[in-house]
Amino acid sequence: MNQSKRIAQLLNKPVSLSQKFNEQTKAKKNNFGNQPPKQWPKSWKTVQYKAYARFPEINLPTPAKTFALQNVLKQRQSSRQFGLKPISKTKLSQLLHYGAGLINPQNNEKRAYPSAGGRYPLEIYLLSLKTELPTGLYHYYIRNHSLEQLPMVEDLKIKDAFEENWVSRASLLIIITAVFKRTTIKYGDRGYRYILMESGHLGQNLYLVGQSLNLGCCAIGGFVDNQINQWLDLDGNQESAIYVLALGEQP
C-alpha cells in the first residue's frame, strides 16, 4: 500500500487529490530523464517564446536602475493598499526586465529566475488599470522587451475573478500563466510541480524589484482561473493562469 493510502487509512479519510498527485509524481531513482544532454531530444532543448504578431507592440524604455538587494529583502512585505499615482512606463520596464526579462545579453535565453531544465514555461500578461499605458490587457514579449496590446474584454469586472475587494484598487495585475507542455514534455506530470516552483521564484523577483521601485505588491492565489483565462483567450488546458500579483504605487 502506498504512503498516502496508509495515511488516509490511519486518519479514516479518503485520499485527497493533492495526496494522490504528490504520491504519483514522486521521482524515483533513475527515473528523471537524466540522460546526458547530448542525447536530449530537440523538444527538451528548444526554448519557446509566445508572440502576438498581429497586435500593436509597445516598446518599453531601456531599464537602467540598479538596487541594493539587502534593503529590499528587509522591506519586502505584502501591500494591499495602493496610492493614486499611476505606475510609470519606466517602472514597468524595470519591473519586467529585472523580474522576468532576458537579463544577460551574452546568453539570450537566461532570465533572472531559475527554470527546471531551462524550459521556461511561464508567460506574463498585464492588466493595466492605472499605469501610463492605456487601461487594458497586454502580453510581455520577452524577446523585444515590449508589450503586445491584446483586445480589451468588454465589460471586464475585477470582482468576477477576485473575491477580495482590495484587488480592484491595484494599479496593475500581473498574471503569470504556464504553457505546461514546455516542461511536461521533459518531466511528465512531475513537471507540474516544477512549474509552480518556478512561478514562486518569478513572483519573489517581482516582489523584490517592485519594492526597489517603491511599488507595493501582493501575491494572489485566490482567483477564478477560468475567468482570467477567458479574459486572456486561453484554453485553460494547454495554457492557464497559475498566479497573480497585484501592484501599485505605495500610498
Ligand X SMILES: Cc1cc2nc3c(=O)[nH]c(=O)nc-3n(C[C@H](O)[C@H](O)[C@H](O)COP(=O)(O)O)c2cc1C
Residues found near ligand X in the complex (CB under 6 A): 77-78, 80, 164, 218-222
The secondary structure of 122-162 as a DSSP string is: EEEEEEESSBSSPSEEEEEETTTTEEEEPPPPTT--GGGT-
* Partners of 218 in beta bridges: 246
Closest approach, Cβ 154 to ligand X, in A, equals 26
Tell me how far apart the alpha carbons of residues 123 and 198 are, in angstroms, rounded to a whole number: 12
Closest approach, Cβ 77 to ligand X, in A, equals 4
Q: Which residue is nearest to ligand X (CB)?
A: 221
Nearer to ligand X, 80 or 169 (CB): 80
198 phi and psi angles, rounded to 5 deg: -65, -40
Nearer to ligand X, 60 or 176 (CB): 176
Tell me how far apart the alpha carbons of residues 194 and 223 are, in angstroms, rounded to a whole number: 21
Q: Containing H/E element for 17?
A: helix 17-24
Nearer to ligand X, 133 or 245 (CB): 245
Closest approach, Cβ 167 to ligand X, in A, equals 8
Closest approach, Cβ 39 to ligand X, in A, equals 36
Are 63 and 94 in contact, with CB atoms under 8 Å apart? yes
Nearer to ligand X, 150 or 242 (CB): 242
Closest approach, Cβ 46 to ligand X, in A, equals 30
Grid cell 504528490 in the structure block, residue: 22
Closest approach, Cβ 244 to ligand X, in A, equals 8
Tell me how far apart the alpha carbons of residues 156 and 153 are, in angstroms, rounded to a whole number: 6
Nearer to ligand X, 150 or 170 (CB): 170
Side-by-side strand order, sheet with 215-220: 57-59, 146-149, 136-141, 122-128, 172-179, 239-249, 215-220
Nearer to ligand X, 147 or 170 (CB): 170
